[in-house]
């Protein structure tokens, strides 16, 4: 069964409503340039109140180790997602502190898959998104067929423009290390506000609601 990560959450009432759908992961963006940035006054109590079976993820872009560790500890996040140009050495420094890591990569037809080899031992998952100068958030798909070139034996999440009508296509994908999908903008009423009805319909199709 594919795992589902719903990313870009911010507003308390919407967070609670989405949590009731029981996704596997929920993501919160700590990148100030993002339209879904949680803000400086984000309430850690809302994270503490989430069901224990939902893995929480803090998303960063080229942030300092100190800030990542500070936020991870304050909110007790299960994972951090690194969506910038973080090096294997950067990831390892966090891993040595007990941090679990999703490392995102913007992929394209000419993407050098061999560069992932150095990340295998220092990341828990990879996340493949549409290549963008703005570190994701395009709402666009990349050519999923290029995933057939993926060799490292590390489970990964598929991201980038996945919408409500993609359920059957996603379920038909036959990549042995595809662990789950990351969904965001195609399920929004406005930035950071998710359409719960649309999510419910989609999650029922991919059989993630227990």
pLDDT tens digit sequence for 140-196: 899 999 999 998 899 999 999 999 999 999 999 999 999 999 999 999 999 999 999
Q: Which two tokens stand for residue 141?
A: 């798909």
Residues 65-119 have pLDDT tens digits of 999 999 999 999 999 999 999 999 999 999 999 999 999 999 999 999 999 999 9
Q: Are 100 and 69 in contact (CB under 8 A)?
A: no
136 pLDDT tier (thresholds 50, 70, 90): low
Q: Quote the CA–CA distance of 4 and 100 in Å, as a whole number.
A: 17
Residue 193: phi and psi, rounded to 5, are -110, 110
Q: What is the predicted pLDDT for the residue at 1?
A: 80
With a cut of 90, say whether residue 139 has pLDDT above it: no
Q: How confident is the model at residue 208 (pLDDT cuts 50, 70, 90)?
A: low
- Answer for the pair 146, 113: CB distance below 8 angstroms, yes or no: no
What pLDDT is recorded for position 210? 44
Q: What is the pLDDT of residue 134?
A: 73
Q: How far is CA 112 from CA 104, 106, 145, in A?
A: 14, 11, 15
Domains of the chain plus CATH, in order, are 3-205 (3.20.20.70)
DSSP H helices in the chain: 12-19, 44-48, 65-75, 88-95, 167-172, 196-205
């Amino acid at each position: 069964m594919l795992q589902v990560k719903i990313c870009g959450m911010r507003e308390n009432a919407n967070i609670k409503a989405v949590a009731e759908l029981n996704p596997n992961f929920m993501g919160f963006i700590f990148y100030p340039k993002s339209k879904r940035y949680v803000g400086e006054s984000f309430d850690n109590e809302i994270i503490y109140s989430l069901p224990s079976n939902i893995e929480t993820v803090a998303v960063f872009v080229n942030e300092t180790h100190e800030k990542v560790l500070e936020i991870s500890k304050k909110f007790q996040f299960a994972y951090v997602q690194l969506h910038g140009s973080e090096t294997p050495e950067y990831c390892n420094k966090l891993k040595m502190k007990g941090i679990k890591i999703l490392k995102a990569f913007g992929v394209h037809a000419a993407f050098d898959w061999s560069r992932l080899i150095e990340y295998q031992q220092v990341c828990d998952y990879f996340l493949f998104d549409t290549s963008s100068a703005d570190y994701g958030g395009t709402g666009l798909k990349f050519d999923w067929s290029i995933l057939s070139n993926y060799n490292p034996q590390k489970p990964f999440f598929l991201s980038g423009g996945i919408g409500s009508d993609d359920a059957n296509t996603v379920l038909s994908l036959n990549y042995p290390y595809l662990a789950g999908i990351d969904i965001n903008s195609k399920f929004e009423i406005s930035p950071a506000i998710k359409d719960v009805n649309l999510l419910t319909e989609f999650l029922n199709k991919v059989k993630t609601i227990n």
